Amino acid sequence: MKNTKSLDQLKTQYYGEVGTPERDRIERELEALHIGFKIRSAREQQCLTQEEVARRINKKRTFISKVETDGENITLKTLYDVVERGLGGRLKISVEF
């Protein structure tokens, strides 16, 4: 049997334990990628182009492209605009301590 590891085990091996600065950094980056992926998936499911979503929120198509590939530097206001005005969804944010 192969020696398989879970994603969490690999992240611990390469980036350290949960709560360390490097691990926290990679977790934030992965979450940003996940947000961008979800936005792109929602847009594609609705058969919308990036241009159409951008027009709905008064942004350029290149902005939507950047959000979809790197959601890391998006403000909450803009995230609300993209999800709710641009895609007709509802944004729910959770904070954990």
Mean predicted confidence (pLDDT) in 76-88: 94
Looking at residue 83, its pLDDT comes to: 95
Looking at residue 45, its pLDDT comes to: 97
pLDDT per position as a tens digit, 37-71: 999 999 999 999 999 999 999 999 999 999 998 87
Mean predicted confidence (pLDDT) in 63-83: 89
Greater pLDDT, 22 or 70: 22
Phi, psi (5° rounding) for residue 96? -120, 145
Q: Can you give the residue ranges of every domain in the chain?
A: 8-86
Which residue is it, tokens 């182009």? 49
Nearest 5 degrees, angle CA 47-CA 71-CA 65?
Answer: 45
* Torsion, CA 72, CA 48, CA 63, CA 80, rounded to 10: -50
Q: Which CATH architecture has domain 8-86?
A: Orthogonal Bundle (1.10)
Where helices occur in 46-92 by DSSP H, the ranges are: 50-56, 61-69, 76-80
Q: What is the pTM of this model?
A: 0.77
Mean predicted confidence (pLDDT) in 1-29: 85
